Structure 1
Amino acid sequence: MAFIDCHFFSESLGLSTSMYVLLPQTTVGQIGLNNRSTGGKHPVLFLLHGLSDDHTIWLRRTSIERYAAPLGLAVVMPAVHRSFYADMASGPKYWTFVSEELPALARSFFPLAEERERTFVAGLSMGGYGALKLALRHPERFGAAASLSGATDIEAMARERLSREETAAIFGSADSLRGSDNDLFGLASGLARSDAGQPRLYQCCGTEDFLYEDNIRFRDHCRKLGLELTYEEEPGTHDWGYWDRKIQSVLNWLPLENGLANN
């Protein structure tokens, strides 16, 4: 695969920022990597980082390049800092960036598919929350979304795990979250009531993870709504050994075309 360390200016953030991008490349002489490309515009996975990380972390902590190479899948990894993928109450507009500007810029820079059926999003922890929020708020844009150990209950996160100052900077207050566009439970209920096509959803969490109970509540909520959700759990904590294993499960689950992955 080709690896691009891309630096660019964001109008919505008002500053220069970065993303890592992996692009499919068919090779014959390369040793130790099974590369594949279908040609044309590539199916794309927007892969999101967690609260204490940045856009470099998936390449540093997992073998995502090696896993994606035989699938002909492009991977876009943006930086959003500790924003919870929100237009911050006292800070940059990261939701506008990741939901509107980033996909448009990435597609203008690189040969990435535009069709919903070939566009996917995934992430871990804060990024799992961001992935689900993108798919639930814009089901017309994403064919599938995956959350690994996601922060699925944002109100509980804001009240119990973030400082009052950080909650205020990101969301204004925890009291404003329930039923808002930042609330995954409310967004899932809205999607179930709508006529919009529903993206496939994947959720996993280790049974020893501190976010396990939050994930169970969201899983049960989606099941009651009748949303198409694949849920997996196994022993594991909030750590990279678990996420390195489960991102492979996500890639195998993605509905990629031409037999490149299992449906």
Structure 2
Amino acid sequence: MNFISLLSPAPCRISWREPRVWLVPMLALAGMAVLVASDTNRSLFLVLNSLGTLASDALWENLTVLGGTLAGLTLLAPLIGRRPDILWSLALAAILATLWVHGLKDPIGILRPPAVLPPELLHVIGPAHHYGSFPSGHATTIFTVAGILSLYLRQSALTWLLVAAALLIGFSRIAVGVHWPLDVLGGAFGGWLSAVFGTLLAQHWRWGISRPGKWILGLALAACALALLISPDIHYPDAIMLQRALALICLLPVLLPAFTRK
């Protein structure tokens, strides 16, 4: 059984009765409300950041890069030429996710942990960013990808494996010391809803599954994978090999047919 066989062959149909559509963003929203009402965002960060030191820095570096834009998009590169409907949903969801992240980061202007906490209280891995804390772009990216895949799965029960993986990558942003728990929950909320509404838009605007649309989306996604291969995120040096391996693994299913075709 391969990854693509887990996806439903039929076009996705969004039903708000299905928990996989609404449960993740609602839980994220509830979590944000609790953190704000109880004023525990900072104290929870300190606990979780400290727990992160129980694992190696290299582990968190490798997990956190998977939430980067290039890596997140590259994860779906094997679908090029196979599932243009999913890639079209992803493209529209990515636009919505970008608006969510950049529409809030500067206007809200929440400072990141390294900007407000004494260095001896936190463990930072990689660059100590100071500005643009809410929402987490990495968490938004990985929850957008997880949301898209969840909506197209044959078995909705597998959704929770995707959610667990996305949560672990989101947690890595706390472990590397650059995001509050509130930021990660905000990314989960916005990312999952971007996936839902991107898929809804894709159902009504079908350009992405036209012949030109397929080519443009495929080339754009392949370009993301190539960019990750050639220019990985060097701020996390222990994760450079993983990024390049991910790019190669995700590109191979696309490139091999071209070289083996007679």
TM-score w.r.t. length of structure 2: 0.25
Structure having the higher Rg = 2
Kindly indicate which of the two structures has a greater share of residues assigned to strand. 1
Kindly indicate which of the two structures has a greater share of residues assigned to helix. 2
Indicate the structure whose relative CO is greater, using CA pairs within 8 Å and at least 6 residues apart: 2
